[in-house]
Each structure stands twice: as C-alpha cells, then as structure tokens.
Amino acid sequence: GENVEQHPSTLSVQEGDSAVIKCTYSDSASNYFPWYKQELGKGPQLIIDIRSNVGEKKDQRIAVTLNKTAKHFSLHITETQPEDSAVYFCAASLHSGGYQKVTFGTGTKLQVIP
C-alpha cells in the first residue's frame, strides 16, 4: 500500500521567515496531493492541493510543488505569521478499484515565533 513520509516533525521559524515541509510517497499511481492545517481542538482544514498533472500551485503565501519522478511534494509558506502555527498534514490520494484511497503523513508541528 501507499506510504507517506513527512519531515520535519517539528519546525520553529521566526515570524516573517519561510517554512518548508516535505513529503514523499511510494505509490506512483497517487495523483492527488492535499495539504491540511489542523489547529488545536479543530479538524484538519484543507489549505491547498495539487494534482499529478501540475508541478506547482500557489495561493497567496502558500505554495505546493510536486516532483512526480522523485515522488515527493513540498509545502512552502512565505512571510510566516503567528496564526500559521498549527500542525500540517500532507496526504497522497489515488482512485483505485472504484474507491479513493487517502494516506496521510504523520504531521509537522509548525511554531512561528513572534
């Protein structure tokens, strides 16, 4: 089955700096890669996603890149703010045998220091 590895597990950055979180996946059939932000006491919130036919996608301060050959994708947050502090999850998803399979990474706890 699919295996998703996520690094680092914790990340501290100064406010205004950039943060990068990296994930690798094992199943080349995965074709959809969402990123989620989970704040304390809340469910994961979809913040950005990318499909396998796209190499990069950007939404304001957040961007995601995908390297299909190397089977890795990354989340980039620029000009970090204290409210970016949360746990971030990557996921790899594929549609197989009539159903969708989603595998999550183990999460990265991001702390933005004011």
Least separation in angstroms between residue 75's CB and other proteins is: 16
**C-alpha R_g of the chain:** 14
Q: Is 114 in the site for other proteins (CB under 8 A)?
A: no
Tokens representing 82? 């204290």
Q: Is 7 in the site for other proteins (CB under 8 A)?
A: no
Binding mask 70-109 for other proteins (x = CB under 8 A): -------------------x---xxx--xxxxxxxxxx--
Least separation in angstroms between residue 72's CB and other proteins is: 18
How long, in residues, is the chain? 114
Least separation in angstroms between residue 56's CB and other proteins is: 18
Rounded Cα distance, 51 and 93, in Å: 10
The residue count for binding other proteins (CB under 8 A) is 25
The DSSP line for 42-86 is: S--EEEEEEETT-SEEEETTEEEEEETTTTEEEEEE-S--GGG-E
Site of interaction with other proteins (CB under 8 A): 31-32, 34, 36, 41-46, 49, 89, 93-95, 98-107
